[in-house]
Amino acid sequence: MINGNKVLFSGMQATGSLTIGNYLGAMKNWVALADEFECFYCVVDMHSITIRQDPAELRRRARKLLQIYIAAGLDPEKSCLYYQSHVSGHAELAWILNCFTYMGELNRMTQFKDKSAKHADNINAGLFDYPVLMAADILLFQADVVPVGVDQKQHLELTRTIAERFNNLYGDVFTVPEPYIGKVGAKIMSLQDPARKMSKSDENPNGSIYLLDDPDTVARKCRRAVTDSEGMIRYCAEQPGVSNLLDIYSACTGKTPQEAEKEFDGQGYGVLKDAVAESLNAILQPLQKRVAELEADKAYVDRIIRDNAEKAQYYSTKTLRKVQKKVGFPERPRIK
């Protein structure tokens, strides 16, 4: 608990370009959570280097992601928006937790197997150890709740296991986090393959709409979206492409998919695709304008980075010192 509120932790990797799936499925809901929780939203740059990155590009993307957080409506005076690499406690706690995590547990992580298959020339220890750093991210702030997607549930379960194992040995040190079950974010699928989730790493650029795509690009990608040959607009499993467009439209307008289905009853796919593009641009253009303003106000963004890093460092240090004492490390002298 911080200031009488439960703590929520989440973050996004500073790789690739964020899609409307990232926004509609997660970030849009984060904004409302600031009134309910003490929120820490991390720009996940340490996890990002398990795959080779261009250094200058990683720095650029990390700053852009922080700007998008703010532009999406996250208040940096209320929620803590910070770079993972600016808080040394992430790495320090991860090492300690490594010593309380078993090889067999890490061997069972499906994401390691998936990423190893994609990056067979760079199966590094960091990729294998990724879940322990993720556990450190969460436990460092004594997070009560963590919003997780399907692909991260296994990692949160491991986090809970590690926390309980440590607590059983040393007492009540870590808060054991729960998955956050709140308003369900829209699950946005690829425009070119509605069986797969929309991804910022999609090799087909027409499959994803990115938050910084211009209006013409958004319209073009929507027009190229896969539908089918039925010629009817129905929200059903038999029409995954059409259903995906209805999900996007609903998430943008606040309507239910069933209401959207009725709205387009008897219309052609072209009408639906144009409406989806229009609803997306109504959200993306204000966000892009705010990002441009933040890019121009370097001093403000630099202040947010500095102040939020100090806040994150303060709360992380409280946990880290407690853990270090429990495992027997000598007390650190205070350095002036």
Which CA distances in Å does 43 have to 12, 124, 223? Answer: 6, 22, 33
Contact by Cβ (8 Å): 134, 159:
yes
Distance CA 65, CA 131 (A): 22
Answer yes or no: are the C-beta atoms of 100 and 162 closer than 8 Å. Answer: yes
Q: Which of 64, 197, 221, 273 is catalytic?
A: 197
Q: Is 115 known to be catalytic?
A: yes
Contact yes or no for 249/275 (Cβ under 8 A) = yes
Q: What is the side-by-side strand order in the sheet with 178-179?
A: 80-83, 38-44, 7-13, 145-146, 178-179
Under DSSP, the state recorded for 48 is G
Q: 200, 255, 311, 322: which is the annotated catalytic residue?
A: 200
Catalytic-role residue among 28, 115, 221, 273? 115
User: Is 183 labeled as catalytic in the residue annotation?
Assistant: no
Six token digits for residue 98: 């490594």
Active site residue 197: yes
DSSP state of 210: B
The Cα-based distances of 95 to 40, 135, 194 in angstroms read 21, 11, 40
Which amino acids are annotated catalytic?
A: 115, 197, 200
